[in-house]
Amino acid sequence: MENIGGFKVSSLKDKVTLITGASSGIGAGTAVLFAKLGALLALNGRDAENLAKTAKECTECGAAEPLLVPGDLTDEETVRKTVEQTIAHFGRLDVLVNSAGILAMGTIETTDLAQYDKVMNVNVRSVYHLTHMCVPYLIKTKGSIVNVSSVNGQRSFPGVLAYCMSKSAIDQFTRCIALELASKQVRANSVCPGVIITEVHKRAGLDDDQYAKFLDKCKVTHALGRPGEVEEVAHAIAFLASDAASFITGVNLPVDGGRHAMCPR
């Protein structure tokens, strides 16, 4: 930590950080940025091969070899193993970044209970369970939690009903745990990205042509006239996780090029 003109500038150096969803997208980009900032990483993701690629990018930055804990967090045993292995390896936990999530298309007419359950289990239940298991260790270090939500949690969009509901739940979860843990000096915040260039939309079913049109539409759906980059969300996560945000908790921070503030007219 250093001071520049009285302004505290802090890094995440040597902070033990567990990042979920680190095999792709925002989770992977956040892992690489935290590696550059000197964090000690435990990385979870469902795709073991891609997780290894993320780890390689981290070590190429000169960072210590991340601990890899692959697996599906909707499995309760995987959650327990993830936390146990992280603590056994590092002895503590300073930061939890809940980035694992899925996007699914569907309306109230087309979203059956199986799809609803899948989205809620990945995006909400697993986040709840992992955070519940990590909190005792975060209390010991007066650590911080950053959840990856979405502008879909703050604004209403047709055609992605279960997803919107899940992200709204994450924003409320963030505010509630921020208040519950504040007396123990554990901070909790969320980032709420707009459209970010990742593979998540294609995995949800958009083909190349549909995806190109979707990105082009960002010129009008985002005030800054473009979709966002993974690194832009990662920097917001790093700020909220760090001591630079030491007086910020319970915030759902839009990282969406102004989309949350827009209204059609």
Q: Residue ranges per domain, the chain?
A: 2-257
What distance in Å separates the CA atoms of residue 54 and residue 28, rounded to the nearest whole number?
A: 6
Among 116, 128, 137, 163, the one annotated catalytic: 163
What are the two backbone dihedrals, phi and then psi, of residue 204, each rounded to the nearest 5 degrees?
A: -80, -10
Instruction: Using a pLDDT cut of 90, give the percent of the chain over it.
Output: 86
What distance in Å separates the CA atoms of residue 244 and residue 240, rounded to the nearest whole number?
A: 7
What's the average model confidence in pLDDT over 240-259? 97
Q: Provide CB contacts within 8 A for 186, sequence distance 6+.
A: 135, 138, 139, 142, 143, 144, 145
Catalogue the E-assigned strands of 103-157.
144-148
Identify residue 131 by its one-letter amino acid code.
T
User: Is 116 designated active site?
Assistant: no
Identify residue 143 by its one-letter amino acid code.
G
CATH of region 2-257, choose from 3.40.50.720, 3.40.605.10, 2.60.40.420, 2.40.30.10: 3.40.50.720
pLDDT(8) > 80: no
pLDDT(4) > 50: no
Of 103, 148, 109, 111, the C-alpha closest to 127 is: 148
Low-confidence winner among 4-18, 21-35, 105-119, 174-188 (lowest mean pLDDT):
4-18
Question: CA separation (Å) from 251 to 29, 153, 187, 189, 241?
Answer: 21, 13, 10, 5, 12
Identify residue 139 by its one-letter amino acid code.
I
What pLDDT score does 22 carry?
A: 97
CA 86 to chain centre: 18
What's the average model confidence in pLDDT over 179-195? 97
Q: Provide CB contacts within 8 A for 221, sequence distance 6+.
A: 194, 195, 259, 262
Low-confidence winner among 47-51, 217-221, 238-242 (lowest mean pLDDT):
217-221
Q: What is the pLDDT of residues 225-247, one digit of tens each?
A: 999 999 999 999 999 999 999 99
**Across all residues in the chain, what is the average pLDDT?**
94
What's the average model confidence in pLDDT over 208-221? 88
Instruction: Using a pLDDT cut of 70, give the percent of the chain over it.
Output: 96
Q: What is the pLDDT of residues 118-162, one digit of tens each?
A: 999 999 999 999 999 999 999 999 999 999 999 999 999 999 999
What's the average model confidence in pLDDT over 188-211? 88
Q: Could you tell me the pLDDT band of residue 10, with boundaries at 50, 70 and 90?
A: low
Whether the CB-CB separation of 130 and 148 falls below 8 Å is answered with no
pTM of the model as a whole? 0.93
Whether the CB-CB separation of 170 and 190 falls below 8 Å is answered with yes
